[in-house]
């Protein structure tokens, strides 16, 4: 089959605690949800973005695809974590073809990995050319490039899982970019100034700060919601899933609500410390302040987390619903359940906007 922009793609988001799949039909402003499903994963099947128990993850994905009755084998997935590097750099003005030759040679000085162990990509950032102060005499124009490097191992691992589950991976994206695509369905980030997207995941808290719709700063904070879950497991001698349920309001027998809230707040302290450091670094290096934050990921389902983070970060915080501007298809969806799961669907919905449009 010859792939084109009209080829339907299945979005696959493999997280620390679950797999999410989704599919959208249509174009921006007219998206319709055709499929969305979630399959839980056993604890430690995926650690820090890397699949550890491949057999279990493949089986879970295959069962989920079968349950959703997908009619396309072509898949788009994403990666995140410490195997991913995103950096904004300035390079001499040149066209796309020249950059494709120049960037691989130039990239080695910027990336913390062996150049032979990574795949590199880049995006020319929109805007006017700039002149570095020390280059004013030479008047050499510079353009900004968003440089991305991902270790081959994590891309190959993700592709192997999809293939073993009967799918054909055609695009491997990044979680941070998928979240931007999801938010752009209903918001115009280009007109919103400096915005932080905070993904409260299991193993990581992913941060992406955009200026006028363009990624300016990203960070994968190696502390996530699993720390809170593990604390509750130990405190109340519960299984993993039972502890997850506590975070969304299921109070176990003999436990005090205030005690649970205190434990959850305490688990957020390391995350808040790192977010504050990141906000301050962004402010110092960009001369701009974060004006608003969007929350997504499983941690965004904790009741009251938006108000808590807004108070501590000092900016308005909104729990993002990627379904709010998406029409539900003819299939019978439970709108209430979708609304409850919406924050954890952000990456999958963002991936589902992708089309195979570059051949």
Q: How far apart are CA 322 and CA 183, in angstroms?
A: 7
Exposed / middle / buried, residue 305 (Cβ in 10 Å: 0-12, 13-18, 19+): buried
Domain co-membership, 102 together with 210: no
Instruction: Collect the ranges in the chain with pLDDT lower than 70.
Output: 1-5, 127-140, 330, 357-359
Domain co-membership, 196 together with 308: yes
Taking a C-beta distance cutoff of 8 angstroms, is the pair 120, 107 a contact? yes
At residue 357, the pLDDT reads: 61
Domain co-membership, 195 together with 309: yes
Q: Is residue 27 part of a domain?
A: no
Domain co-membership, 145 together with 193: no
Q: How far apart are CA 288 and CA 194, in angstroms?
A: 7
Taking CB atoms within 8 Å and a gap of at least 24, the contacts of 100-106 are 103/145, 103/147
Structure tokens, 171: 């695009």
Domain co-membership, 194 together with 298: yes
At residue 130, the pLDDT reads: 43
Q: How far apart are CA 64 and CA 83, in angstroms?
A: 27
Taking a C-beta distance cutoff of 8 angstroms, is the pair 302, 344 a contact? no
Q: Helices then strands (H, E): number in the chain?
A: 10, 16
At residue 333, the pLDDT reads: 83
Domain co-membership, 211 together with 306: yes
Q: Is residue 258 part of a domain?
A: yes
Query: Which residues constitute the domain of residue 237?
Result: 188-320
Q: How far apart are CA 57 and CA 335, in angstroms?
A: 27
Q: Is residue 266 part of a domain?
A: yes
Q: Is residue 22 part of a domain?
A: no
Query: How many domains are there within the chain?
Result: 2
Exposed / middle / buried, residue 93 (Cβ in 10 Å: 0-12, 13-18, 19+): exposed
At residue 136, the pLDDT reads: 45
Domain co-membership, 203 together with 290: yes
Read off the DSSP letter of residue 356: -
Q: Is residue 20 part of a domain?
A: no
Domain co-membership, 214 together with 293: yes
Which one, of 126, 27, 104, 16, lies nearest residue 60 by Cα?
Answer: 16
Domain co-membership, 93 together with 217: no
Q: For position 222, which CATH number holds?
A: 3.30.420.40
Q: Is residue 306 part of a domain?
A: yes
**Global model pTM greater than 0.95:** no
Domain co-membership, 144 together with 198: no
Domain co-membership, 196 together with 267: yes
At residue 237, the pLDDT reads: 86
Q: Is residue 61 part of a domain?
A: no
At residue 4, the pLDDT reads: 66
Q: For position 88, which CATH number holds?
A: 3.30.1490.300
Integer angstrom CA distances of residue 74 from 46, 66, 166, 292 = 23, 14, 9, 36
**SS3 of 309, please?**
helix
Q: How far apart are CA 292 and CA 193, in angstroms?
A: 9
**SS3 of 166, please?**
coil
Domain co-membership, 132 together with 245: no
Q: Is residue 102 part of a domain?
A: yes
Q: How far apart are CA 77 and CA 352, in angstroms?
A: 9
């Amino acid at each position: 089959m010859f792939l084109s922009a009209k080829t339907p793609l299945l979005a696959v988001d493999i997280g620390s605690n679950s797999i999410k799949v989704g599919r959208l039909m249509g174009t921006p402003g007219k998206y319709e949800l055709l499929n969305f499903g979630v399959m839980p994963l056993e604890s430690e099947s995926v650690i820090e973005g890397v699949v550890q128990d491949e057999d279990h993850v493949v089986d879970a994905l295959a069962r989920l695809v079968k349950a959703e009755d997908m009619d396309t084998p072509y898949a788009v997935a994403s990666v995140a974590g410490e195997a991913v590097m995103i950096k904004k750099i300035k390079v001499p003005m040149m066209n796309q073809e020249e950059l494709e030759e120049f960037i691989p040679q130039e990239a080695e000085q910027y990336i913390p990995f062996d150049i032979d162990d990574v795949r590199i990509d880049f995006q020319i950032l929109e805007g006017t050319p700039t002149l570095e102060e020390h280059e004013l005499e030479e008047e050499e124009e510079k353009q900004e490039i968003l440089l991305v490097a991902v270790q081959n191992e994590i891309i190959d691992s993700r592709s192997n899982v999809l293939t073993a589950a009967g799918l054909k991976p055609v695009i491997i994206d990044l979680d941070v970019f998928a979240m931007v695509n999801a938010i752009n369905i209903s918001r115009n980030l280009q007109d919103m100034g400096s915005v932080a997207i905070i993904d409260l995941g299991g193993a990581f808290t992913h941060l992406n700060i955009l200026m006028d719709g363009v990624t300016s700063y990203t960070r994968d904070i190696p502390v996530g919601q699993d720390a809170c879950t593990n604390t509750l497991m130990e405190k109340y001698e519960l299984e993993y899933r039972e502890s997850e349920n506590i975070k969304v309001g299921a109070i176990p027998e003999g436990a005090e609500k205030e005690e649970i809230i205190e434990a959850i707040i305490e688990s957020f302290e390391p995350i808040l410390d790192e977010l504050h450091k990141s906000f301050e670094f962004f402010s110092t290096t960009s001369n701009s302040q974060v004006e608003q934050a969007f929350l997504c990921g499983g941690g965004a389902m904790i009741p009251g987390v938006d108000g808590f983070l807004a108070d501590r970060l000092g900016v308005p915080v909104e729990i993002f619903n990627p379904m709010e501007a998406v029409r539900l298809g003819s299939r019978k969806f439970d709108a209430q359940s979708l609304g409850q799961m919406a924050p954890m669907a952000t990456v999958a919905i963002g991936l589902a906007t992708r089309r195979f449009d570059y051949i």
